[in-house]
Amino acid sequence: MKVKEIIVVEGRDDTVAIKRAVDADTIETNGSAVNAKVLAQIALAQERRGIIILTDPDYPGDRIRRIVSSHVPGCKHAFIPKHKAISKNGDDLGVENASPEVIREALNKLQQEYDDEPKEIVTWQDLHAAGLIAGHCAKQRRERLGDILSIGYANGKQLHKRLHMFKISEIEFSQAIQQVFEEEGQ
């Protein structure tokens, strides 16, 4: 599989994992301290070929994703679920631990970021009603919903933002939350 866009990753091990899975070029941020030089390189890549952000499913990875998105509009995003990015011995979480199949699956389920002003489709009240904001299962529901919609795990506030940023429709949201409830046996 050849990828036209340049994939933004955190480090060298991520680049190695990407290249095992697909034919693609990468830009490495070298961790969460993304500097101006790297952001300029990413902006040029976006202008010339487009970019896909594929970072680790953890706080530093999400931070890098937000930094790049805020400086370079119109990014595409690929997300790997946490449970598919854990090392065999269970002590490391990252893109470098994902199998080539999982990486290809994430790249096949890209989410396009829209830089126009998002219209609220799924409301804060909808998230509360679905038990995604408070309650004993809220975190697990958000994690599963993020997997189903291919938008990654997020806390309540970030979930609300991502649903709008990726223009997830009411129908998509309803179908996904129904799947979450069915899996829970409700």
Q: For residue range 54-84, list pLDDT tens digits in order.
A: 999 999 999 999 999 999 989 999 999 999 9
Give the pLDDT band of residue 112 (cuts 50, 70, 90): confident
Q: Of 45, 114, 107, whose CA–CA distance to 74 is shortest? A: 114
- Give the 3-state secondary structure of 59-110: HHHHHHHHHHHHHCCCCEECCCCHHHCECCCCCCECHHHCCHHHHHHHHHCC
- Predicted TM-score (pTM) of the model is 0.80
Q: Which fold has domain 6-112?
A: Rossmann fold (3.40.50)
For residue 18, the SS3 value is helix
pLDDT at position 91 is 87
pLDDT at position 37 is 93
Q: Break the chain into its structural domains and give their ranges.
A: 6-112, 124-184
Task: Provide the strand spans (E) within the chain.
Answer: 6-9, 26-28, 51-53, 76-77, 111-112
pLDDT of 118 > 70? The answer is no
162's CB contacts (< 8 A; 6+ apart) are 146, 151, 152, 154, 168
